Amino acid sequence: MAKEKTTTNKENKNAKWYVLNIRTGYEASVQKEIKQRAEATGLEDKFVEMLVPVQKKIFVKKGKQNVKEEKIFPGYILIKMELTTETADLVQNTEGVKGFVKTDRYPKPLPESEVQAIAKFMKVEQPSFQTSFSVGEAIKITEGAFQDFIGSVQEIDTTKGKIKVLISFLGREAPVELELSQVTKL
């Protein structure tokens, strides 16, 4: 998460949180550009912090687990800054920035409580699992006591990373609960 958050050493009591709409996929480059432009124009004391909200997700692909950071709000950056004509122009004239999220004509500050809620959500301890399996799909068990068995998906629990598979065992159908990493698509 450290690479997704940019802070300055200075504290500005007039700074408030705003939401920027930017080109999706350019979050890091827009952050860097705003920081460089603020330093070049002597306005760095007006910019306190920039944040791209991300969360760790576990992806299971071909029976292997990978942890990746996924943007919670792709195409948006939270920025804590003192809003003046100069700072607004600097931000809005940065390549990749579409503009502030606003109500009426002017950007509306984001309440500190919402920013704290987003920060808390980013630190969720138990990552959720992302999988491409679907109920009824035929799968092969790749490890464990039932390795090489073929079965069909009965249930998927993405919060625990578990999958319930119906296999044919000793001439009867039997449900088996496995980790998502123990199965693969046929």
Q: What is the pLDDT of residue 126?
A: 58
Q: What is the pLDDT of residue 9?
A: 47
| Domain termination residue (choose one: 129, 155, 171) | 129
Residues 142 and 98 in one domain: no
Per-residue pLDDT tens for 91-144?
999 999 999 988 677 888 999 999 999 888 888 755 667 778 889 999 999 998
For the residues 149-163, what does the mean pLDDT come to? 89
Residue 57 has pLDDT above 80, yes or no: no
Residues 177 and 101 in one domain: no
Residue with the two structure tokens 């119906």:
166
Q: What is the C-alpha to C-alpha distance for residues 5 and 35, in angstroms, rounded to an integer? A: 12
Q: What is the pLDDT of residue 2?
A: 38
Residues 76 and 17 in one domain: yes
Residues 90 and 162 in one domain: no
Residues 161 and 117 in one domain: no
Residues 136 and 122 in one domain: no
For the residues 167-183, what does the mean pLDDT come to? 89
Strand stretches in the chain, DSSP E: 5-7, 16-22, 47-51, 54-61, 64-71, 76-81, 97-100, 102-103, 106-107, 128-130, 138-141, 150-157, 162-169, 172-179, 183-185
Q: What is the pLDDT of residue 152?
A: 94
Residues 111 and 37 in one domain: yes
Residues 124 and 142 in one domain: no
Residues 85 and 164 in one domain: no
Residue 98 · residue 23 · CB < 8 Å: yes
Report the CATH number that the domain containing residue 171 is assigned in CATH: 2.30.30.30
Q: What is the pLDDT of residue 163?
A: 92
Q: In what order do the strands lie in the sheet with 97-100?
A: 5-7, 47-51, 76-81, 16-22, 97-100
What global pTM score does this model have?
A: 0.66
pLDDT class for 171, splitting at 50, 70, 90? Answer: confident
Query: What would the two tokens of residue 171 be?
Result: 């001439």
Q: What is the C-alpha to C-alpha distance for residues 134 and 153, in angstroms, rounded to an integer? A: 7
Higher pLDDT, 135 or 70: 135
- Report which DSSP code applies to 167: E
Residues 102 and 29 in one domain: yes
Residue 61's domain comprises 2-129
Per-residue pLDDT tens for 82-103?
999 999 999 999 999 999 988 6
Per-residue pLDDT tens for 1-46?
434 555 544 578 889 999 999 999 999 999 999 999 999 999 999 9
| Domain termination residue (choose one: 129, 152, 176) | 129
Domain count, the chain: 2
For the residues 63-76, what does the mean pLDDT come to? 82
| Domain termination residue (choose one: 85, 106, 129) | 129
Report the CATH number that the domain containing residue 56 is assigned in CATH: 3.30.70.940
Residues 135 and 83 in one domain: no
Q: What is the pLDDT of residue 155?
A: 93
Residues 14 and 106 in one domain: yes
